[in-house]
Structure 1
Amino acid sequence: MTPADRISVVTAVDERLKTTSICLGVAYGARHDPPDRGGLAHVLEHLLMSAPVSGVGPLVQHIEGLGGSANAETGLEQMLFYAQVDAEDAEQVVDLLLRAVLAPELDAATLDTERAAVLQELAAAEADPMDTVQDAFLTAIFPGHPLGRPVGGTVPEIAAMDLEGVARGHRDALLSSPMALAIVGPRIPGGLQATGTASRSTGTARPAVPLGPAHPTAPAWPDEFAWVAVGGRSTGLTDENRHRYVVLANLLGGCASSVLYRELRVAAGLAYSFQAWDRGYTEAGAWRVLIGVESGNGPEAVAIVKRELDALATAGPTDTDLDAARRHARMSLLRDTETPLEHARLLASRALFHAGDWDLDSELREIATVTRDDVREAASSLRDGLVTVVRPEAK
């Protein structure tokens, strides 16, 4: 069976659209890179979108020459390759995207070019505390675990990569991974047969890696503006209880109806920019509040987060706050499904990791049925293992 034969296809047809959005998801990410070759998935993401495709040249340049847009991203457990094009070009672009990812024409010159781009990307991320604090946070809650590895790799790892090693990683790791192709447009491109629901694709199953304890440390507060992440482990991506953490994130998020907004921004005036979210992975999830704080405001801001989390763990939210948080969680999902490219990305990602068919209505119902006790249990589990990380740190 070839990789193309294993790709599950899911579509959402909307005849009102004039564009087609395409997303190929691959269940291979930074956590699957060999221990001594971190950043391999990240380099492959760049290389596969930029390597020449027979007859048209570099994929991204060709798609954007058609007037469309194309991009890719690498996470801890997945890669997404996506494009949005005129519906008349969809059949051609689907074929080119599959060829680029499944049977790339790799060469040393393109690797050198994209290696330079990746190194510039790493330099930009290293200069942005909003980026570095999130890598540091994952390292703190998943110490010594593949989930704690930086997605982009390190400069020495990227610099040491050669074409043979990258090609081997593509052949042995990426091509054996589950894949899903999502199409959102006015019709299904020719040659594709779709299920209409996101069903898990086939591929090599990877064993879970046991988790050790988290590694909380006291933050070293700097005398300047900084970003602080406060949070801990939640449940895994496919756990039936994961939506309680999503609702909890909305209770302590940056929207004006959240509990934390009232206390942190309105009452205390300690932060202008903050947000909260939960991200699920195979063994566990990562739940966090991310706050930008002025010099001197960090300790008090963290104390307010802990106080509000403790209140939710003890008494739970009020009916009004719980209803608002559930509505925001549902609206976030609805907005994604009503934006064609985001919808395609969502469908591809869900198909990679859900054992059965996924559909929007089922997930909306799961969010709507999160109770006060569910939130209390989620808040309690986080309260007992909170990790606080700040970047930049005091020198």
Structure 2
Amino acid sequence: MTPADRISVVTAVDGRFRTTSVCLGVAYGARHDPADRGGLAHVLEHLLMSAPVSGVGPLAQHIERLGGSVNAETGPEQMLFSAQVDADDADEVVDLLLRAVLTPELDAATFDTERAAVLREIEAAAADPMDTVQDAFLSALFPDHPLGRPVGGTAAGVAAMDLEGVRRVHRDALLTSPMALAVVGPRMPAGLNATGHAPPAAGTPRPPVLPGPARPAGPAWPDAFAWVAVGGRSTALTDTGRHRYTVLANLLGGHASSVLYRELRVGAGLASSFQAWDRGYTEAGAWRVLIGVESGNGPEAVAVVTRELDALATAGPTDADLEAARRHARMRLLRDTETPLEHARLLASNALSQDGPWDLDGELGKIAAVTRDDVRAAASALRDGLVTVVRPEAA
């Protein structure tokens, strides 16, 4: 069986569209990189979009010449390759996308160029505290664990890579990983078969690696503007209670109806830029609030987050706040599924990570079912294991 034969295909056909959005998801990410070659998945992602394919040159350039858009990204557990093109170009683009990822023409010149580009990205990210604080947070939350590695890799690891090593990982790891192709458009591209829901993506399963204890440490506050991440571990991606953490993130999000907005921005005037999110992975999840704080405001901002988590863990949210948070979570899903390219990304990603078919109405129902007691339980679990990281740190 070839890799192409193992790809699960899921579609959302809508005759009103005049564009086709596609996303190929691969269950290979930064956590699967060799320990001494952090960033290999990221480099490989760059190569697959930039290497010549089927006589048309680099895939990204060809799609852009067609007037379409293309993107690729590497996460801790997945790589996503996506494009949106005129529906009349969909047959060609799907074929080229599969060729680019499955049978790439990797050459030394492209490797050298893209490795240099990744090294520049790492250097730029290291100068941005908003980037470095999130890597540092995950490192503290999952110390000595693959989930704690920076997704982009390290300069030393990337500089030590060679083309043969990248080819080997492509052949032995990426091509044996589960894959799913999502298509959102007016019709099915030629040569694809789908029933509307993807079956479980075939591929080599990887055993989970249970994380050890988190490594909380007191932040060294700088005498300057800084970014601070406050949060803890949530539950694994397939856990039935995951949606309580989604709702909790919306209760403490950056929108004007959130509990934290009232207390942190309106009440205390400590920050105007903050957000909350939750991410689920194979063994556990990560939930955090990210806040931009002026000099001297950091400790008090963290205290506000802690107090709000305490209050939610003790009494839970009011009916009005709970309903507002559920509505925000619902609208996020609706916006994504009504944006064709985001819909394709959701379908591909969830086809790789869900035990069964991903269904929008089912997801909305799970959000609507989150109760006050569910939120209390999530807030209590987080409160008892908070990790706080700030960047830049005091010299």
Per-residue CA deviation, residues 230-285 of structure 1 (Å, 9 max, x unaligned), is 00000000100000000000000001110000000001010000000100000000
Return the offset for 1:199.
3.5
Amino acid across the alignment from 2:246:
V
Distance 1:342 1:357 in 2: 17
Distance 1:129 1:195 in 2: 45
Name 1:15's counterpart in structure 2.
15
Distance 1:19 1:183 in 2: 11
Determine helix, strand or coil for the equivalent of 1:17: coil
**Aligned pairs (5 A) from 1:320-339:** 320-339=320-339
Name 1:53's counterpart in structure 2.
53
Percent identity between matched residues is: 82
Return the offset for 1:119.
0.7
Determine helix, strand or coil for the equivalent of 2:279: strand
Per-residue CA deviation, residues 19-59 of structure 1 (Å, 9 max, x unaligned), is 10010000000000111111110000000000000210111
Distance 2:305 2:181 in 1: 40
**Aligned pairs (5 A) from 1:235-384:** 235-384=235-384
Return the offset for 1:358.
1.3
Determine helix, strand or coil for the equivalent of 1:274: strand
Name 1:214's counterpart in structure 2.
214
Name 1:131's counterpart in structure 2.
131
Name 2:185's counterpart in structure 1.
185
**Aligned pairs (5 A) from 1:93-104:** 93-104=93-104
Distance 1:72 1:269 in 2: 38
Determine helix, strand or coil for the equivalent of 1:71: strand
Per-residue CA deviation, residues 69-96 of structure 1 (Å, 9 max, x unaligned), is 1110000000000101000000000000
Amino acid across the alignment from 1:263:
E
Per-residue CA deviation, residues 323-342 of structure 1 (Å, 9 max, x unaligned), is 00001001101100000000
Determine if contact 1:199/1:358 at 8 Å carries over to the other structure. no
Distance 1:71 1:210 in 2: 32
Amino acid across the alignment from 2:354:
H
Per-residue CA deviation, residues 147-203 of structure 1 (Å, 9 max, x unaligned), is 000111111111111110000000011001000000001111111111212433111
Distance 1:271 1:197 in 2: 43
Distance 1:197 1:291 in 2: 39
Return the offset for 1:357.
1.2
Determine if contact 1:198/1:350 at 8 Å carries over to the other structure. no
Determine if contact 1:313/1:377 at 8 Å carries over to the other structure. yes
Determine helix, strand or coil for the equivalent of 1:38: coil
Return the offset for 1:391.
0.3
| Structure 2 gap ranges (5+) | none
Distance 1:211 1:140 in 2: 11
Distance 2:269 2:241 in 1: 33
Name 1:24's counterpart in structure 2.
24
Amino acid across the alignment from 1:163:
L
TM-score normalised by length of structure 1: 0.99
Which moved further from structure 2: 280-289 or 9-18? 9-18
Amino acid across the alignment from 2:90:
A
Determine helix, strand or coil for the equivalent of 2:346: helix
Per-residue CA deviation, residues 89-135 of structure 1 (Å, 9 max, x unaligned), is 00000000000000000000000000111011111111110000000
Distance 1:54 1:189 in 2: 18
Return the offset for 1:313.
0.3
Determine helix, strand or coil for the equivalent of 2:144: coil
Determine helix, strand or coil for the equivalent of 2:344: helix
Count how many residue pairs are aligned between Structure 1 and Structure 2: 395
